[in-house]
Amino acid sequence: MPFAFNKLWSAPEINPYNKKARSIPVFNPINKYGRVFFFSYLGFFVAFWSWYAFPPLLSKSIKADMHLSQNEIANSNIIALTATLLVRFIAGPMCDHIGPRKTFAALLFAGAIPTALAGTAKNATGLYFIRFFVGILGGTFVPCQVWTTGFFDRNVIGTANALVGGWGNSGGGITYFLMPAIYDSLRTQQGLSSHVAWRVSFIVPFIIITAVALGLLLLTEDTPTGKWSERGAVVVLSHQTHSSVVPTTGGLTDKPGTTAGSFSSTDEKKRDKSTADVESANGDVQILDEVQHEVVVKPSFKEAVKVMFSLQTATLCAGYFCSFGGELAINSVLGAYYVKNFASLGQTASGRWAAMFGLLNIVARPLGGFISDVMYKVTGHNLWAKKLWIHFLGVMTGILLIVIGRLDPHKLDEMIGLIAVMAIFLEAGNGANFALVPHVHPHANGILSGVVGATGNFGGIVFAIIFRYQKTNYAQVFWIVGIIHIVLNCAFIWVRPIPKGQIGGR
């Protein structure tokens, strides 16, 4: 069936069993599902902008003002990633307990405060302190993904997660345009000194983050059925067209029992003969167990550990360690890499070329999720297709990183071209990874998203440390990171997409 463009602005068709949308009203912020989509990517966008607001000004203006060494700059990049690593681990359980919407808003407010205080930093120690707490904003990725997973059905969840993640990630590219532009404007039009201008420039993201957080709280809902405490209300339609509301209870590993009265013995016989499509919730089929098992519950410590240390979680973590970890580390040094190889560009021009890397998220990350959904559909809902797509993108990224590292381009067009192609595969890998996440341990989506998201940051820290000890030998680090990509992706190819016997997530 061809794609209908009117779905981009029309109110979506709703799955009657779980109240999730079967299409994405991208251009309809009036619709309930459209508002969640809008604030998901906008919240993550402004968070990513502020989180990466330092690197565009750090290599020249801030460095000169604070008399920073190259090692101190590298240390500040690592510290910013470390804070986000910790916050993402915490954000996962928070999403399961109080809901992703409130978690999202809390992290935005918490990160806005140190953003406003960025100008108080006077030396390297102050910079470390501020960047650590601004790093809270990087944790917004977890509630961003958990929130959309709760509102969009499995036929489009890969695309939905990839779109909000990709458009949000593009804030890391936009910041390379915005922060130098704000800084230049304050210097030329307001007559501020460099010492004052870069400090005042951080007030802009603070104001916008606060406004977005307030809008998110006031204009959206926790779940399709209302409050987070009511998320267990699953609508089940019987063959007689009446509905009953079934509360979901129990632990992560419990198999939900069939609710009396929802289906008769006649229905059960029909179910055995049915060829109904569970994904679209059509036909006379008993899917209550599966729908109930996908409702997020508050996990016990034992249940959480089981999810965190499964092979499927390790596979997703390995992929995201490479893709998002690589993106974070490269985004921190790319402007400096351009300055090193093309000194005539200066801070502003090199920042603009470096911005391209982050801006490609607008297209590349959604593409990774969209292709994942298409492969899932054409293979008859086979999750191996989604999983192998992740590994393919990871290996291709590794190959391209090795090529860039070995060539160390000194022709601008060659450098730009190679970085762009590599970025497409790298960022598509992020989208592909979180297109599979909703299917794995769906009853613990907050925990899983938090662990996988945090592992991406851990990858960023590891790669940033490698960059630090290689100082300005960026090319060598590129091919080292490329080898790591290939090895980790190949190591987990054999693992099943979801645990054997899992209910839900198919």
Mean pLDDT, 10 residues at a time, over the chain (506 residues)?
71 88 91 95 94 86 91 88 90 91 97 95 95 94 94 91 91 86 92 94 96 96 88 50 41 41 40 41 47 60 85 96 93 88 82 86 93 93 95 98 95 95 96 93 87 93 90 92 97 92 60
* Residue at 234 is within a domain: no
Do 107 and 140 meet the contact criterion of CB atoms below 8 Å apart?
yes
Tell me the torsion sign for CA atoms 346, 460, 39, 198: negative
H/E stretch holding 105: helix 100-116
pLDDT of residue 55: 83
Together in a domain, 290 and 320: no
pLDDT of residue 282: 44
Together in a domain, 290 and 315: no
pLDDT of residue 445: 83
Contacts of 51 (CB under 8 A, 6+ apart): 80, 84, 111, 134, 135, 137, 138, 171, 172
* Residue at 3 is within a domain: no
* Number of domains within the chain: 2
* Residue at 496 is within a domain: no
Do 112 and 213 meet the contact criterion of CB atoms below 8 Å apart?
yes
H/E stretch holding 321: helix 311-341
Going by the DSSP 8-state scheme, the letter that residue 152 receives in this structure is B
* Residue at 335 is within a domain: yes
Long-range contacts of 468-472 (CB under 8 A, 24+ apart): 468/71, 468/74, 468/75, 468/77, 468/78, 471/70, 471/71, 472/70, 472/336, 472/340
Do 248 and 234 meet the contact criterion of CB atoms below 8 Å apart?
yes
Question: Smallest Cα–Cα separation from 62: which of 196, 166, 221?
Answer: 196
pLDDT of residue 471: 82
SS3 452: helix
Q: What domain range includes position 288?
A: 241-248+255-295
Together in a domain, 308 and 288: no
Tell me the torsion sign for CA atoms 453, 459, 462, 466: negative
Domain harbouring 84, CATH code: 1.20.1250.20
Together in a domain, 308 and 419: yes
- Helical H runs in 408-473? 412-436, 445-469
* Residue at 2 is within a domain: no
Do 51 and 79 meet the contact criterion of CB atoms below 8 Å apart?
no
Together in a domain, 387 and 409: yes
Q: From CA 388, how far away is CA 446, in angstroms rounded?
A: 24
Together in a domain, 98 and 172: yes
Q: From CA 24, how far away is CA 339, in angstroms rounded?
A: 41
Together in a domain, 472 and 440: yes
* Residue at 400 is within a domain: yes
* Residue at 338 is within a domain: yes
* Residue carrying the six token digits 């022709």: 411
Question: Smallest Cα–Cα separation from 87: which of 142, 12, 19, 157?
Answer: 142
Together in a domain, 208 and 274: no
Together in a domain, 161 and 59: yes
Do 167 and 366 meet the contact criterion of CB atoms below 8 Å apart?
yes
Together in a domain, 59 and 203: yes
For helices 361-378 and 157-169, the axis angle rounded to 10 degrees is 170
Together in a domain, 372 and 447: yes
SS3 226: strand
Going by the DSSP 8-state scheme, the letter that residue 223 receives in this structure is B
Q: From CA 405, how far away is CA 399, in angstroms rounded?
A: 10
* Residue at 6 is within a domain: no
Together in a domain, 211 and 280: no
User: Taking the model in full, what pTM does it have?
Assistant: 0.79
pLDDT of residue 226: 85
pLDDT of residue 270: 43
Q: Which two tokens stand for residue 378?
A: 């054409």
pLDDT of residue 366: 94
